Amino acid sequence: MSRSDPARVFGQTAETPGRAATPPIDGPVPSVHLRLKQATRLDHETVDQAMSGFDLTDRDAYGAFLQLNHTAMIALRPHWRAADAVDFDALVEALAADLAALGLRPSPPADPLAGRIDGLGLSYVVRGSRLGSRILRRRVGPGLPTAYLDLRLGEPWARLLDQLTARGTADPDDTTALIAGARATFAVYERLARPMAAAA
């Protein structure tokens, strides 16, 4: 089975154009975005490694990839921000359409998540994952449906970065819940990906 490049499966693989690169350790205090990125780096890499087991040229493996993403979005839905609902509902609908085109049904719902996940931290992970969608789209086998990977979100990534900045400006110390929310979101994908990728 061929495998995807794990460094590019889950998006957020390059600096956003027009945004400053990582400053030196003895430089200015890192932005909220940079602190979040650094704090979740290992979580991101773990998910990328787990997701790399899906061969998107294979119909069955690609179907499992879509089911995983659908299951994750449904599990996370109670924790979405209202501001994300339109875009995230569109992702769920696109996933359902692709699954239907493959003659597949969504996987059974995952167990409910314990506690509350910070919505902005969740949004950082889900919206960040879309940055790699064009790369993944090129790896999909011919004739397979791609509504999910083709979908462009209405809210740009730069707006999410502005929201992170605004939150850091309002309370520079309020990063614990944000980081925990992002890590919890990565954990949902990792927990679902490992057994499904192994089966695929």
Residue 19: inside a domain: no
Q: How far apart are CA 8 and CA 30, in angstroms?
A: 24
CA 49-78-167 angle, to 5 degrees, is 80
**Residue 3 clears pLDDT 80, i.e. is over it:** no
- Is 12 within 8 Å of 47 (Cβ atoms)? no
**Residue 171 clears pLDDT 80, i.e. is over it:** no
Structure tokens that stand for 1 in this block = 């089975």
Question: Using alpha carbons only, how large is the chain's radius of gyration in Å?
Answer: 17
Residue 108 confidence (pLDDT)? 84
Owning domain of residue 141: 32-199
SS3 of 144, please? coil
Q: Which candidate, 145, 146, 150, 147, places its Cα nearest to that of 130?
A: 150
Residue 19 confidence (pLDDT)? 40
Q: Confidence class of residue 147 from pLDDT cuts 50, 70 and 90?
A: very high
Q: Confidence class of residue 95 from pLDDT cuts 50, 70 and 90?
A: very high
Amino acid letter, residue 61: A
Query: Lowest-confidence range among 23-27, 28-32, 87-91?
Result: 23-27
How does DSSP classify residue 140?
Answer: S
Q: Which residue has the tokens 């780096």?
A: 41
SS3 of 28, please? coil
Q: Confidence class of residue 96 from pLDDT cuts 50, 70 and 90?
A: very high
Q: What is the pTM of this model?
A: 0.84
Q: How many domains does the chain have?
A: 1
Residue 103 confidence (pLDDT)? 97
Residue 57: inside a domain: yes
Residue 2: inside a domain: no
Residue 1 confidence (pLDDT)? 34
**Residue 189 clears pLDDT 90, i.e. is over it:** yes
Domain harbouring 178, CATH code = 1.20.910.10
Structure tokens that stand for 93 in this block = 């609908």
Q: How far apart are CA 94 and CA 114, in angstroms?
A: 27
CB atoms within 10 A of CB 73: 19
Residue 23 confidence (pLDDT)? 39
CB atoms within 10 A of CB 61: 20
Q: Confidence class of residue 55 from pLDDT cuts 50, 70 and 90?
A: very high
Across the range 34-47, mean pLDDT stands at: 95
Q: How far apart are CA 81 and CA 85, in angstroms?
A: 7
